[in-house]
């Protein structure tokens, strides 16, 4: 894929991330951090400048669409924008307006757009209906459950299909729900999402980061209408979702075991302190992550989310 195509698709994803107009300074800072972290993966694209250009409306939707070189990439751009808007399990009216505008700009007919939306819808539906069973009450069982979720999400990040990345967030929600349930706390998804956001793990920005690593690493699910079946490493060379899931799981374990006494600042500090060791662990577990990725398919993942 040309650097111009990568830049255009990333710009459209950034526009989708800001489409609801509700991004506060902390969310914008998180997206900026993602742009800077991805910059090392593709020296051909100045992602720091691209982020500023999108935010300040110097590089808009029309410019991004014109830069895309074929119909397959235009379809992929719509799919990625849809996934970004749906990352938190819902689409606001402003995001829907942006997607409708994008569909027209890309020259997609209603049938084409609906076909793309049908691919994303099952994961979005699962995000709003996810449940979890009690994973056991002792530390060893909880730790093993967290590791299993981390291995699974790391494997999903190595798959090229868009549904794979879309499944990571609902599985993290399911994991946190299960840990809370183990400690006698049964919360709805709204509270779980608030907990994840308070830890500094933005749902939209997390998906945007996963997508950016795949795009810049050449690990695309669909290009020119062809589905890729291979497994590959993300642009960073790591399945980074292993680390975020592992750290989030152990944060939830501390939070619920401690009677939910941590404030937002302490949650963020604790999560960051757990993330460093988790990144080191993902290096050790990478062979197992790759082995798991080789066995996954969409039906298996959906069953895991809904079980």
| pLDDT at site 128 | 56
When the candidates are 1.10.3470, 1.20.1530, 1.10.3680, 2.60.120, the CATH number that belongs to 3-125 is 1.10.3680
Q: How many residues appear in the chain?
A: 307
Distance CA 138, CA 131 (A): 20
Q: Is residue 294 helix, strand or coil?
A: coil
Tens of pLDDT along the chain (307 residues) come to 678 888 888 889 889 888 877 665 666 666 676 666 666 666 677 777 888 888 888 989 999 999 998 888 898 888 888 878 877 667 788 889 999 999 999 998 888 888 888 776 666 665 555 555 455 567 888 999 999 999 998 888 888 776 777 788 888 888 998 898 888 887 777 788 788 878 877 767 777 777 777 777 665 544 444 444 444 444 344 568 899 999 999 999 999 988 888 888 899 999 999 999 999 998 899 999 988 888 887 777 777 776 6
Output the six-digit token pair for 89: 């399990």
Rounded to the nearest 5 percent, the helix, strand and coil shares of the chain are 70, 0, 30
Task: Confirm if 217 and 234 have CB atoms less than 8 A apart.
Answer: yes
Residue among 231, 112, 78 nearest 161 (CA): 231
User: Which residues are bridge partners to 227 per DSSP?
Assistant: 222
Task: Confirm if 69 and 52 have CB atoms less than 8 A apart.
Answer: no
Q: Is residue 265 helix, strand or coil?
A: helix
Show contacts of 181-185: CB within 8 Å, 24+ apart: 181/132, 181/133, 181/134, 181/135, 182/134, 182/135, 182/136, 182/137, 182/142, 182/256, 183/256, 183/257, 185/256, 185/260
Domain residue limits, the chain: 3-125, 133-306
Distance CA 151, CA 146 (A): 9
| pLDDT at site 151 | 93
């Amino acid at each position: 894929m040309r650097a111009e195509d990568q830049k255009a698709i990333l710009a459209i994803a950034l526009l989708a991330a800001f489409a609801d107009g509700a991004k506060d300074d902390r969310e914008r800072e998180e997206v900026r951090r993602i742009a800077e972290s991805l910059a090392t993966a593709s020296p051909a694209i100045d992602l720091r400048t691209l982020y500023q250009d999108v935010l300040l409306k110097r590089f808009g939707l029309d410019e991004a669409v014109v830069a895309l070189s074929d119909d397959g990439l235009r379809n992929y751009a719509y799919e990625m924008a849809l996934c970004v808007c749906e990352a938190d399990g819902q689409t606001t009216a402003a995001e829907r307006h942006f997607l409708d505008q994008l569909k027209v700009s890309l020259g997609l007919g209603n049938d084409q757009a609906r076909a793309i939306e049908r691919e994303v819808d099952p994961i979005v539906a699962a995000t709003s209906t996810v449940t979890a069973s009690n994973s056991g009450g002792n530390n060893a069982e909880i730790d093993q459950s967290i590791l299993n979720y981390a291995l699974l999400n790391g494997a999903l990040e190595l798959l090229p299909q868009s549904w794979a990345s879309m499944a990571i967030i609902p599985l993290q929600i399911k994991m946190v729900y299960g840990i809370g349930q183990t400690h006698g706390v049964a919360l709805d998804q709204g509270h779980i999402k608030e907990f994840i956001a308070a830890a500094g793990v933005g749902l939209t920005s997390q998906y945007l980061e996963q997508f950016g690593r795949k795009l810049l690493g050449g690990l695309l699910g669909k290009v020119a209408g062809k589905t890729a079946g291979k497994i590959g490493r993300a642009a960073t060379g790591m399945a980074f979702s292993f680390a975020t899931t592992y750290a989030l799981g152990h944060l939830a374990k501390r939070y619920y075991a401690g009677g939910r006494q941590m404030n937002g600042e302490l949650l963020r500090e604790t999560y960051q302190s757990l993330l460093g060791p988790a990144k080191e662990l993902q290096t050790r577990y990478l062979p197992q992550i790759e082995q798991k990725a080789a066995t996954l398919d969409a039906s298996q993942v959906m069953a895991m989310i809904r079980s």
